Amino acid sequence: MDDAFTLGHELGHAMHSHYSMTTQPYETSHYRILAAEVASTVNETLMTHYLLKNERDRVKRAYYMTQFLESFRTTCFRQTMFAEFERKAHQMAENGEPLTVDSLSAVYRQLNELYYAGVHVDDNIALEWMRIPHFYNAFYVYQYATGLCSAVKLADDILHGGAVERYIAFLRSGGSDYPIEELKAAGVDLTKKESILASLDVFEQYVNELDALMQETNIRTTKK
């Protein structure tokens, strides 16, 4: 299934490029990274919905839900934590504070404890920031989170609000405007918290569905 989701992801990029390059003149045909991650993730989200709609096997349904939830966690929560770590590191430098292994590791551990409250935080996680290559490209990672939240909101609108034409128009817009304006025209206003909360509502829905499914499975297993 990982291969299938990867194919769906990359086809999202392909269709974005197709619509952009066949609609826009060359100078505005290249979209920015914030918009790019939206198109690819819309495909993954729609694929998850399709699989769940057409699957009755409880184990497979649990797998699809878990795959979506883990992707959401690592892309939304984890990448946001990375971005906050970057911001704090830059603030430390601007304030004249020394950037040492100990000081940066302390910040990173505190953020893990904040973002994953209630989960045991291993001591070695404090060193994880050293292996994140994206930090060499300042403030890149937050676009994964905004892209995912935008994609989940757009996919939900497509499925329940008939937003297909708005979405196609977004793909065709390429680099003709700022990504935040292109997304706003598509129905996602990242300047307002409602768009982020809408994606979190979808996340919560999947959490509740998976929880109910696991309880049902456990009950039936116990009866056997």
Mind listing the domains of the chain with CATH numbers? 2-77+142-223 (1.10.1370.20)
| pLDDT, mean of residues 66-79 | 93
In the set 10, 55, 165, 181, the catalytic residue is 10
CB hemisphere CA count around 198 (13 angstroms): 20
Residue 117, pLDDT score? 86
Residue 139, pLDDT score? 86
| pLDDT, mean of residues 131-152 | 91
Residue 156, pLDDT score? 92
Task: State the sign of the Cα–Cα–Cα–Cα dihedral 6, 204, 145, 188.
Answer: positive
On the question of pLDDT at 222 being above 70, the answer is: no
Predicted confidence (pLDDT) per residue in 110-141, tens digit: 999 999 988 898 999 999 999 999 888 888 89
Residue 224, pLDDT score? 47
pLDDT band at 220 (very low <50, low <70, confident <90, very high): low
* More reliable by pLDDT, 91 or 162: 91
Q: What would the 3-class secondary structure string for the chain be? A: CHHHHHHHHHHHHHHHHHHHHHHCCHHHCCCCHHHHHHHHHHHHHHHHHHHHHCCCCHHHHHHHHHHHHHHHHHHHHHHHHHHHHHHHHHHHHHCCCCCCHHHHHHHHHHHHHHHCCCCCCCHHHHHHHHHCHHHHCCCCCHHHHHHHHHHHHHHHHHHHHCCHHHHHHHHHCCCCCCHHHHHHHHCCCCCCHHHHHHHHHHHHHHHHHHHHHHHHHHHHHHHC
On the question of pLDDT at 59 being above 80, the answer is: yes
Mean residue pLDDT across the chain:
92
Q: Judge whether 84 counts as a catalytic residue.
A: no
| pLDDT, mean of residues 24-30 | 95
Residue 73, pLDDT score? 93
The answer to whether residues 53 and 25 touch, using CB atoms and an 8 Å cutoff, is no
